[in-house]
Structure 1
Amino acid sequence: MNEERAASEQEAVENDVVARVLASFENTPDARLRLVMTSLVRHLHAFLREVRLTETEWESAIAFLTAAGHITDDRRQEFILLSDVLGASMQTVAINNPVSGGATQATVFGPFFVDDAPHVERGGDIALGAVGEPAWVEGVVTDLRGDPVPGARIEVWEADEDGRYDVQYADARVGGRGYLYSGIDGRYAFWGLTPTPYPIPFDGPVGDLLTATARSPYRAPHLHFMVSAPGLRTLITHIFVRGGEYLDSDSVFGVKESLITDFVVQDAGTPTPDGRELGGRTWSRARFDIVLADSE
Structure 2
Amino acid sequence: MRNLDEDNITRAVLAMHARAQSVRLKQVMTSLVQHLHAFARDVQLTEAEWFEGIQFLTNVGHITTDVRQEFILLSDTLGLSMLVTALNNKKPRECTEATVFGPFHVEGSPHFELGEDVSEGVLGEPCFVKGCIVGLDDEPVPRAELQVWQADATGMYDVQYDALPDGTHEHHARGTLNADERGQFHFRTVRAEAYPIPHDGPVGRMLEALGRHPWRPAHLHFMITAPGYERLITHVFREGDKYLDSDAVFGVRSSLITKWIEHPAGETPDGGHSETAFYTMDFRFVLNPLAVQGELPVRRKRASATRAT
Q: Give the TM bin, normalised by the shorter chain.
A: over 0.9
Checking the alignment, whether the CA contact within 8 Å between 1:221 and 1:245 is kept in structure 2 is no
Match of 1:248 among 239, 245, 249: 245
> Which structure shows the bigger proportion of residues in helix conformation?
1
User: Does 2:33 match 1:41?
Assistant: yes
Q: Which residue of 2 aligns with 1:209?
A: 206
Q: Deviations over 1:246-274 (max 9, x none)?
A: 011010001110000100011111x2121
The whole-number CA distance in structure 2 between the counterparts of 1:214 and 1:35 is 35
Q: Which residue of 2 aligns with 1:277?
A: 273
* 1:200 aligns to 2:197 (yes or no): yes
- In the TM superposition, residue 294 of structure 1 has moved relative to its aligned partner by 1.6
Give matches, 1:79-158, under 5 Å: 79-158=71-150
Counterparts of 1:227 and 1:136 in 2: how far apart (Å)? 19
- The 2-side partners of 1:53 and 1:177 are apart by 44
> For residue 287 of structure 2, what is the aligned residue in structure 1?
292
The one-letter amino acid paired with 2:273 is E
Unaligned runs of 5+ in 2: 164-168, 292-309
The residue that corresponds to 1:4 in the other structure is: none
Q: Which residue of 1 aligns with 2:294?
A: none
Asked if 1:226 is matched to 2:208, the reply is no
Q: Note if 1:238 corresponds to 2:242.
A: no
Aligned to 1:160: 152
* TM-score, normalised by the number of residues in structure 1: 0.94
CA distance in 1, matches of 2:24, 2:215: 37
1:174: Cα distance to partner?
A: 1.4
Distance in 2 (CA, whole Å) between partners of 1:245 and 1:211 is 19
Answer yes or no: is 1:268 the counterpart of 2:260: no
Query: What SS does structure 2 have at the residue aligned with 1:159?
Result: coil
> Could you tell me which amino acid in structure 2 is paired with residue 100 of structure 1?
P
SS of 1:285's equivalent in the other structure is strand
How many Å separate the matches in 1 of 2:93 and 2:242?
30
Deviations 1:18-67 (A, max 9, x none): 00111111111111111111111111111111011110010000000000
Report if the CA contact (8 A) 2:193-2:219 is conserved: yes
Measured in 1, the distance between the counterparts of 2:264 and 2:276 equals 8
AA of the residue aligned to 2:250 = F
Query: What's the CA shift for 1:295?
Result: 2.0
- The count of corresponding residues between Structure 1 and Structure 2 is 283
Shift of 1:99: 3.3
Runs of 4 or more off by more than 6 Å in structure 1? none
Overall identity of the aligned pairs, in %: 49
Counterpart contact for 2:98–2:233, Cα < 8 Å: yes
Aligned to 2:307: none
Amino acid at match of 2:283: F
Provide the C-alpha distance between the structure 2 equivalents of 1:276 and 1:116, rounded to a whole number of angstroms.
29
* Deviation of the 1:193 alpha carbon: 1.2
CA contact (8 A) 1:200 1:217 kept: yes
How far residue 13 of structure 1 moved from its aligned partner, in angstroms, is 2.7
Q: Contact between 1:195 and 1:223, CA under 8 Å: does it hold in 2?
A: yes
Q: Structure 1 CA distance, aligned partners of 2:67 and 2:202?
A: 16
Q: Distance in 2 between matches of 1:217 and 1:256?
A: 18
8 Å CA contact retained: 1:122, 1:190: yes
Deviations 1:221-240 (A, max 9, x none): 00000001112110000000
Equivalent position to 1:20, from 12, 21, 30: 12
Q: CA RMSD in A?
A: 1.0
Residues in 2 aligned to 1:85 and 1:146: alpha-carbon distance in whole angstroms: 35
Q: Which runs of 5+ in 1 are unaligned?
A: 1-11
User: Aligned equivalents of 1:81 and 1:114: distance in 2?
Assistant: 16
